[in-house]
Amino acid sequence: MENTQREPVITIRGLYKSFGDLHVLQGVDLDVFKGENVVVLGRSGTGKSVLIKIIAGLLTQDKGTVNVLGHEVSSLNEKELRNLRLKIGFSFQNSALYDSMTVRENLEFPLVRNVANLKRSEINEAVESVLDAVGLLQTINQVPSELSGGQRKRIGIARTLILKPEIMLYDEPTAGLDPITCLEINQLINEVKEKYQTSAIIITHDLTCAKETGDRVAMLLDGHFIKTGTFEEVFDTQEERIKSFYDYNFIQ
């Protein structure tokens, strides 16, 4: 199906963001359609995290429009923004788990905080269901310090899934993990898409992750996307900056 016929979930046009003299985003355009994983690639400091923070309403742009699930993010009031954020699962680089809480308590936390009047049995069922989805039911009574980096990453993803988000934002999902664990996380990202029918932006400089998880890949450079397409379309190029990114980043 042509993109023009598909339902957009994120539409970004002419996005600019600077911090003082540092011009980070300089005319970013991006579409994410329902049910697709879009990988945002770019070197360190190119503004990938800034971009997804603007999408989630954690930062405000200087110029341009960001429409998420039919809402112009910068024009939402606090309550509307909170409601929109419930539909966005933000998987942070550091997994952002509470060290003093068990896995069960970490997963219950967003649920109890955001959904009123849940019965204990419903909470248990929701926690067990997302843990099962990430393959870690056996860790339910452990604390984060007892888990490996890959397991913590999975629990972080489970914690975002518990609110059944429509959009997932993955910030460097494979950073700091060994190659086998990276492959498992890539697989999990694809499983999440199938099972929870999510659309996603995945920011990474891991090209294996981009190849495995991205329906489309968008290359961020000098403040805007210089090329967007399938992994093969983006890297089948003579453009020197894209070729050198590939040569320095492709591991296998």
Ligand X SMILES: Nc1ncnc2c1ncn2[C@@H]1O[C@H](COP(=O)(O)OP(=O)(O)OP(=O)(O)O)[C@@H](O)[C@H]1O
Binding site for ligand X (CB under 6 A): 19, 22, 24, 42, 44-50
In the complex with ligand X, which residue's Cβ is closer, 19 or 98? 19
How near is the Cβ of 17 to ligand X at its closest, in Å? Answer: 8
Could you give the CA distance from residue 59 to residue 52 in angstroms, rounded to a whole number? 9
How near is the Cβ of 88 to ligand X at its closest, in Å? Answer: 17
Nearest to 15 by CA among 3, 1, 26: 26
In the complex with ligand X, which residue's Cβ is closer, 60 or 148? 60
In the complex with ligand X, which residue's Cβ is closer, 127 or 182? 182
Helix H or strand E segment including 25: strand 22-33
In the complex with ligand X, which residue's Cβ is closer, 40 or 133? 40
How near is the Cβ of 81 to ligand X at its closest, in Å? Answer: 18
How near is the Cβ of 130 to ligand X at its closest, in Å? Answer: 26
Q: Please, what is the angle between helix 103-114 and helix 149-161, to 10°? A: 20
Nearest to 222 by CA among 66, 24, 50, 63: 24
Q: Which residue has the tokens 């355009």?
A: 29
How near is the Cβ of 157 to ligand X at its closest, in Å? Answer: 18
In the complex with ligand X, which residue's Cβ is closer, 54 or 68? 54
Q: 198 is written with which tokens?
A: 């999510």
List the alpha helices (DSSP H) in 88-206. Answer: 103-114, 120-133, 149-161, 179-196
In the complex with ligand X, which residue's Cβ is closer, 4 or 44? 44
Helix H or strand E segment including 47: none
CB atoms within 10 A of CB 239: 14
How near is the Cβ of 73 to ligand X at its closest, in Å? Answer: 17
